[in-house]
């Protein structure tokens, strides 16, 4: 079950990264997002590689196809294991991203609708005419057909994607909160870790419930135990 949790390194310093690695030595996967990568770039990735950790680079590439292909190639050369592109970038962009990792174990994971968005926002602010569930399903299906290896979605759409698209893709979900970590912060579509796994998620992304805990290692162990007892 240790490979089902990705710990988000949403911190500002390399000392923070080292502290978290020391506090959660049993964690195999770590997410490097825009906060850490903007400050420390490949240094953060190098440290994780030195510690023999798996890297989920979550920068949500969204640009013209050739630019994204070049960015993915650069990430591949830095030794990441998975990385995100934004499904809203379209099928050609995702196809180019996937081509950049052919013959390697690197996985392209497409982000559908951010967990901070609700249906009113995507329709009124983003101009997406579909209902939220339909938007997630349509974007996921398009991304997988274009060559993505997996999907990021909120826990609320896990069952829908498994029912409509099947099991032959990775499904990674943020928006996961244990019952003992009540704060959801800016995420509006959430679920507990055991509920998410039961619904069909392969991997869960967690950060604040662990990083903000008085004892991060105990919090991580508690989440793993919750998943194992599911």
CB atoms near residue 204 (< 10 Å): 24
C-alpha angle 125-130-134 in degrees, rounded to nearest 5:
125
Instruction: Mark 12-21 as b/e (b = at least 16 C-beta within 10 Å).
Output: eeeeebeebb
8 Å CB contact between 7 and 30:
yes
The one catalytic residue among 4, 60, 69, 107: 60
Q: Using CA atoms, how far apart are residues 93 and 91, in angstroms rounded to an integer? A: 5
Helix or strand or coil: residue 36?
Answer: helix
Task: Tally DSSP H helices, then E strands, for the chain.
Answer: 11, 8
Active site residue 69: no
**What is the full DSSP assignment across 66-92?**
HHHHHHHHHHHHTT-SEEEEEGGG-HH
Which residues are part of the catalytic machinery? 60
């Amino acid at each position: 079950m240790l490979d089902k949790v990705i710990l988000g390194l949403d911190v500002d310093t390399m000392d923070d990264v080292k502290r978290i690695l020391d506090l959660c030595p049993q964690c195999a996967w770590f997410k490097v997002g825009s906060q850490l990568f903007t400050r420390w770039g490949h240094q953060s990735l190098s440290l994780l590689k030195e510690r023999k950790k798996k890297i989920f680079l979550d920068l949500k590439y969204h640009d013209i196809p050739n630019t994204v292909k070049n960015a993915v190639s650069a990430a591949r050369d830095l030794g990441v294991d998975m990385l995100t592109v934004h499904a809203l970038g379209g099928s050609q962009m995702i196809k180019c991203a996937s081509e950049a990792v052919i013959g390697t174990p690197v996985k392209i994971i497409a982000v559908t609708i951010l967990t901070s968005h609700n249906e009113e926002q995507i329709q009124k602010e983003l101009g997406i005419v579909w209902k939220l569930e339909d938007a997630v399903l349509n974007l996921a299906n398009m991304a997988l057909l274009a060559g993505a290896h997996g999907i990021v979605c909120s826990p609320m759409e896990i069952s829908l994607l498994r029912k409509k698209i099947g099991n032959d893709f990775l499904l990674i979900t943020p928006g996961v909160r244990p019952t003992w970590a009540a704060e959801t912060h800016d995420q509006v579509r959430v679920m507990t870790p055991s509920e998410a796994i039961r619904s069909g998620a392969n991997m869960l992304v967690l950060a604040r419930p662990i990083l903000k805990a008085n004892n991060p290692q105990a919090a991580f162990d508690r989440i793993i135990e919750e998943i194992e007892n599911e």
